[in-house]
Amino acid sequence: MTNTSSDALETLAPLAQALAEPTRRRVLAVLARDGHAYPGELAVELGLAPTALSHHLTWLRRAGLTVAVLEGRRRRHLLSSDDLQAMLRELSPAATGGGSETRYAPSRIPSSHPHHQPRDLTAQQREAFRRTATLSRLAKTAALAGEGPEPIHDVNVPKLSAHDLMPERSPNGLRALSLFSGGGGLDLGFARAGMAHVASFELMQDAANTLQKAHPDWQVFGGPEGDVGRVNWKAWRDQVEVLHGGPPCQPFSVAGRQRGQLDPRDGWPAYVRAVRAVRPLAFVAENVPALASKKFADYVEQTITGPLGRDYTIVRLLLRAEEFGVPQTRRRVVWVGFRRRRDAARYEPPAPTHAWVPDGEPPVGLPRTLGVREALGLPDIGFDALSPTIRSTLTGPRHTTSILNSTAAQRVFAQLQIWPNGVAPTRERARAFVAANGHFRLSVPDVALLQGFPDDWPFQGATYMQLGQIGNAVPPPMAYAVASSVAAALA
């Protein structure tokens, strides 16, 4: 096959994605069989913007692979390459008489997360994604070699300091054990609040590496050794005053399939077993707010608050990250339990330390939570806002370096003139790889800051892994506020 036709196929990736849907697949099959297309009609059938389609056709024509002829008042595009037609036929199962049964192809990229659930994709769909990824990789390599467009922004110097949001407290004599520790949002917040870190248990080795790199002095169990389901917790009895953890939220998140206890990733039974075996003075358990919804009320009662309520007085908190100075819309539900009645009676939930006040509204008597642009040290464009909730897709169907979780979020990032996809590993590389729409490209330390992590928290693993650890985390300043409130009750 010539280079030209394989290049041309790159431009067909979105069309190939359309093959996922039967009607569109039939249209493409006809296109492949007859070797022609009418742009307007085809765009409608494929659900593509006519401009996107005409872009493809223009590109193919320029590459000498299509010819445009006028038939009456209609412009007809002929695919002029045998190679291209053959490839289109290959892309379309219907065109090759592949039958109606869908065959999925396994992903070739190994995940370093044992709970990763890859998407069901056909070989053709995988190929299409692969081509898009290849194109984007080529653009990135060119940009980093200095062959891309001129950088449009300086390396940003953030205005927000996460350390300032959680001033280090003196040791309070309480020892904390961390389960499902991830990249350390809770661990960091609890440590800054003066608790002694006793051990972390985390299945994902990259995340365990992050904790160990951040604190070589910490005891961190990672990989199979860190599997919460396999630990003999009785050995930890009387070793700690506080046990904290956030079992995976994917079984309950509105961004997931919400299969609750049917999801093999449900870690709550293991968490409850650990608390009952270790018998700490207090436990802290966190999750996505969806777990506090009616849908999971029975689950929560039967699996969490029921069994733990026999030995603990439990308080439920609904917290917002922006109330602790974190420039992001992020809510979390937290259950705090006390074994001694006296401690429970003294407990006071954390009060907000900061407030987000949109432009033009009066101050509310608390320090201001910064907007994203101000926090990241970007120039004033007359608009600022909290970051939309940073997605946590590590265990989702696709490895990604995008932090977007909805189209609403996409709109906010567009208004902020921030590009939330293709997050770069460093600020320097974000600057060098200019986003196609000219918006500011984010880097891992920027996303970490939007989650309340300090610049020097050394996330480990590939970029998508680092972003996954960030997206999964409790914002450390929120964790710090909870830990401080628990410490005050136990004092």
* Residues lying near ligand SAM in the complex (CB under 6 A): 180-186, 201-204, 207, 226-229, 246, 248-249, 267, 472-474
Q: Which long-range contacts does 397-400 make (Cβ < 8 Å, 24+ apart)? A: 397/117, 397/118, 397/119, 398/118, 398/119, 399/109, 399/111, 399/464, 400/464, 400/467
Q: Which residue is associated with the tokens 């939309």?
A: 388
How far apart are the C-alpha atoms of 242 and 274, rounded to whole Å?
12
Task: Decide whether 18 or 179 has the Cβ nearer to ligand SAM.
Answer: 179
- Residue from 244, 224, 222 nearest 178 by CA: 244
Task: Decide whether 85 or 181 has the Cβ nearer to ligand SAM.
Answer: 181
State in angstroms the smallest separation of the CB of 161 from ligand SAM. 20
Task: Decide whether 98 or 229 has the Cβ nearer to ligand SAM.
Answer: 229
Gyration radius from the chain CA atoms: 26
348 token code pair: 């006071």
Dihedral of CA atoms 93, 98, 102, 108 in degrees, nearest 10, equals: -70
Return the H-helix or E-strand segment holding 144.
Answer: helix 123-144
Task: Decide whether 229 or 306 has the Cβ nearer to ligand SAM.
Answer: 229
State in angstroms the smallest separation of the CB of 330 from ligand SAM. 12
62 token code pair: 């320029």
Distances (CA, A) of 195 to 168, 186, 284: 10, 11, 13
State in angstroms the smallest separation of the CB of 228 from ligand SAM. 4
State in angstroms the smallest separation of the CB of 301 from ligand SAM. 21
State in angstroms the smallest separation of the CB of 212 from ligand SAM. 14
Task: Decide whether 42 or 211 has the Cβ nearer to ligand SAM.
Answer: 211
The residue whose Cβ lies closest to ligand SAM is: 185
What's the half-sphere exposure (Cβ side, CA atoms, 13 Å) at 38? 10
State in angstroms the smallest separation of the CB of 188 from ligand SAM. 8
State in angstroms the smallest separation of the CB of 336 from ligand SAM. 15
Task: Decide whether 159 or 230 has the Cβ nearer to ligand SAM.
Answer: 230
How far apart are the C-alpha atoms of 421 and 435, rounded to whole Å?
9
Task: Decide whether 60 or 204 has the Cβ nearer to ligand SAM.
Answer: 204
